[in-house]
Amino acid sequence: MSLRLAGPIAAAAIVVIVAMASLRSMAGQAPGPRTLDTKTPITYFIADGTGEVGYRSSDRQLAAWAFEAWDRSAQNQFRFQPATEEAAVVRLYWAEANEGQYGEMRPLLVGGRRGAAVYIRPDVDSLGDDIARRARADALLRDTIVYLTCVHELGHAVGLVHTSDFRDIMYYFGFGGDIVEFFERYRRQLRGRNDIAMFAGVSDTDVAKLRAIYGIR
């Protein structure tokens, strides 16, 4: 279904889409990528989201797969390693509705190293009735939404910015586009949940930009 809606419904849909992709930390961003230091392994932490609306314990696996997707795309340049929250350079948290965005990245400085705190809201009901209804009927679509949101926000964490190309995981919904199809095209690749570990969900352009800013051939 496209986003050609009318009246208050259209306005609400636009708010949802922009909220999902917008990043307070990216507002007024300086030119050039904000890359991470890859000279040593990049430590990461995935929080337990028990108590957050919409959270499932299996969401931690989706987040771990999202880290792995970017590491593979960077030819294992990041060498992500799990760590305690205090020691982690990149930290992923599960957010509640009162925290605003569906996904957000905030820069961190950890022991003198550039890092990032990523916030993911696992409550897909907040994306509107159409997506919520589909996700309730299809667990893999629900997991697709949470997983791709993790990939998108971690893309910001490693230095990528929004694009206007609908094929990219870093696409910004403020440009418009069919939000349902954005998730459904990934969902169609999956036969089971474990397939998510095999399909990164990033475009060739996403990978090329990532490798360019890190000097990876």
Q: Would residue 1 count as lying in a domain?
A: no
Distances in whole angstroms, Cα of residue 120 to Cα of each of 93, 150, 217: 6, 7, 31
User: How is residue 11 written in tokens?
Assistant: 């306005």
Domain count, the chain: 1
Q: Would residue 189 count as lying in a domain?
A: yes
CATH classification of the domain holding 102: 3.40.390.10
Q: Would residue 47 count as lying in a domain?
A: yes
What's the pLDDT tens digit per position in 151-200?
999 999 999 999 999 999 999 989 988 999 999 999 999 999 999 999 99
DSSP calls for the chain: --S---HHHHHHHHHHHHHHH--GGGTTPPSS--PPP-SS--EEEE---TTSTT--TTHHHHHHHHHHHHHHHTTT-S--EE--TTT-SEEEEE--GGG--SEEEEEEEETTEEEEEEEE---GGGG-HHHHHHHHH-HHHHHHHHHHHHHHHHHHHTT---BS-TTSTTB-GGG---HHHHHHHHHTT-SSGGGGGT-----HHHHHHHHHHTT--
The pLDDT assigned to 121 comes to: 94
Q: Would residue 146 count as lying in a domain?
A: yes
Q: Would residue 98 count as lying in a domain?
A: yes
> Does residue 17 register a pLDDT over 90?
no
The pLDDT assigned to 102 comes to: 82
| Alpha-carbon span 60 to 47, nearest angstrom | 8
Q: Would residue 109 count as lying in a domain?
A: yes
Domain housing 65 = 7-213
The pLDDT assigned to 72 comes to: 97
> Does residue 93 register a pLDDT over 50?
yes
> Does residue 209 register a pLDDT over 50?
yes
Read off the pLDDT band of 33 (50, 70, 90): low
User: How is residue 52 written in tokens?
Assistant: 């957050």
User: How is residue 58 written in tokens?
Assistant: 């299996």
The model carries a pTM of: 0.85
The pLDDT assigned to 49 comes to: 95
Q: Would residue 2 count as lying in a domain?
A: no
The pLDDT assigned to 128 comes to: 86
> Does residue 31 register a pLDDT over 60?
no
Q: Would residue 57 count as lying in a domain?
A: yes
